[in-house]
Amino acid sequence: MTTPAPDGPAPVGPTPPPDGPVPGPEEPVQRSSRAPAEHDPFRPAHDPELDARPKPPTTEAYGADQHGLPGDHDGGGALVIGEALVDIVERPGEEPVEHPGGSPANVAVGLARLGRDVELVTWFAADDRGATLRAHLELENVRLSAGSSRAARTSTARARLDGSGSASYEFDLDWSPEAPAELGRPVLAHTGSIAAVLEPGARTVAATLDALRGTATISYDPNARPDLMGDAATARQTVERLVAGADVVKVSDEDLAWLAPDEAPEDVARRWLTTGPALVVVTRGGEGAWAVAASGEVTVPAERVDVVDTVGAGDSYMAGILDGLWAAGLLGAHRREALRAIDADTVTRVLRAAATIAAITVSRAGANPPTRAELTAR
């Protein structure tokens, strides 16, 4: 994958961003005073690896040996296309707290923390919140595609947590990303949630995935947002078109209850498998996950932990699935037939690893997935 060029100037707007005029083509975007340049609140405290300056992907700091991570021998990295936004988290009886978020961005961070090479195509502004996102992603070794910071404003998601830690969301979005000028040859292309269905950006997402189908495994997580996706019947048509074009699909039982309320989640997943994917995984919160592939069906329980909140749980599970398939040497268009022939033991191994990753994530606040070093130490 190529190194992105500078973002260049943002579109002309009525008012300069709070930190001053938008930088020109030769000037880097400046971090605001609010950007976590030296400390990211999503990083676990007292982790020697994360207290150090950022390391390149697939180094020893991320748990890889000198030969790199499992599956890296084919070359190529991951390209994730989707929203990066600021979560405004409201807990009962507490003041709102802002954190970097967005489902696809969370998946990108999850993969990067596992040492994978990741580029993110996204859309945010050169404002204070955008600077926070940029600093967060840079510290996590996620490369930003050129042109990702030209939005008029940085999108937000207000997450209201109930007493159990479950979140409901309210969104303020601007999703009009530019098509990447250079795509490289990633072995994985991932999208999901709002980015794949909200126009005008959804057209860019679809075109990017189509362009990468010849080199990359395509993965998709509907991560349904009913407030943004209109009526369920219309949303289902869009989601099922994306499912049919994907190789790997992860969907929650809650998503399926909204998209197909009259069908059992397993029946929907079985039907989806016949339309194109090699693997469909249905997550069921504390009840674990169920998956179907041509080789059969697999159930894997969730790990039992004390749940702090569920923010980012599904995204970390998605990253875990993709990392597991990567380690098994099943990513890349040239491995598509091998992925279709995935056996039940491999699916079980992949889902167990993903369950561990998700369990660590929900055991602490926010979308805070583990590093390779944390997993190795368990």
Both tokens assigned to 337: 């037939």
Q: Which residues pair with 149 in a beta bridge?
A: none
User: Is residue 36 assigned to a domain?
Assistant: no
Q: Which residues pair with 300 in a beta bridge?
A: 289
Q: What is the pLDDT of residue 164?
A: 76
Confidence (pTM) = 0.81
User: Is residue 19 assigned to a domain?
Assistant: no
Cα 230 to Cα 316: distance, rounded to the nearest angstrom: 26
> What mean pLDDT do residues 277-285 have?
97
Q: Is 139 helix (H, G, I), strand (E, B) or coil?
A: helix
Dihedral, 8, 33, 79, 298 alpha carbons, nearest 10: -160
Handedness of CA 208, 212, 214, 218 (dihedral sign): negative
Q: What is the pLDDT of residue 34?
A: 32
Q: What is the pLDDT of residue 82?
A: 97
CB 2 within 8 A of CB 184: yes
CB 265 within 8 A of CB 281: no
Q: Quick check: bond before 200 cis, omega within 30?
A: yes
Q: Is 291 helix (H, G, I), strand (E, B) or coil?
A: strand
User: Is residue 21 assigned to a domain?
Assistant: no
**Structure confidence by residue, pLDDT tens digits, 309-342:** 887 899 999 999 999 999 999 999 999 999 999 9
User: Is residue 117 assigned to a domain?
Assistant: yes
Cα 165 to Cα 365: distance, rounded to the nearest angstrom: 9
List the domain range (segments joined by +) for residue 175.
Answer: 53-373
Q: What is the DSSP letter of 211?
A: H
CB 343 within 8 A of CB 279: no
Q: How far is CA 8 from CA 119, 123, 126, 149, 179, in A?
A: 18, 14, 11, 9, 15
Q: What is the pLDDT of residue 7?
A: 41
Cβ neighbours, 10 Å, residue 227: 10
Cα 376 to Cα 64: distance, rounded to the nearest angstrom: 10
Our count of domains for the chain comes to 1
pLDDT exceeding 90 applies to what percent of the chain?
Answer: 65
How does the average pLDDT of the chain come out, rounded?
83
Strands 289-293 and 118-121: unpaired
Strands 78-81 and 188-192: parallel
- Give the CATH number of the domain where residue 321 resides: 3.40.1190.20
Both tokens assigned to 145: 């595609």
**Structure confidence by residue, pLDDT tens digits, 198-221:** 999 999 999 999 999 999 999 999
The mean-pLDDT minimum among 68-72, 85-89, 212-216, 319-323 falls in: 68-72
Query: Is the pLDDT at 229 greater than 90, yes or no?
Result: no
Q: What is the DSSP letter of 61?
A: G
CB 228 within 8 A of CB 192: no
User: Is residue 166 assigned to a domain?
Assistant: yes
User: Is residue 14 assigned to a domain?
Assistant: no
Phi, psi of 140 (to 5 degrees): -90, 5
Q: What is the pLDDT of residue 230?
A: 85
User: Is residue 26 assigned to a domain?
Assistant: no
**Structure confidence by residue, pLDDT tens digits, 37-60:** 333 334 444 433 334 433 333 333
Q: How far is CA 244 from CA 6, 8, 220, in A?
A: 35, 36, 10
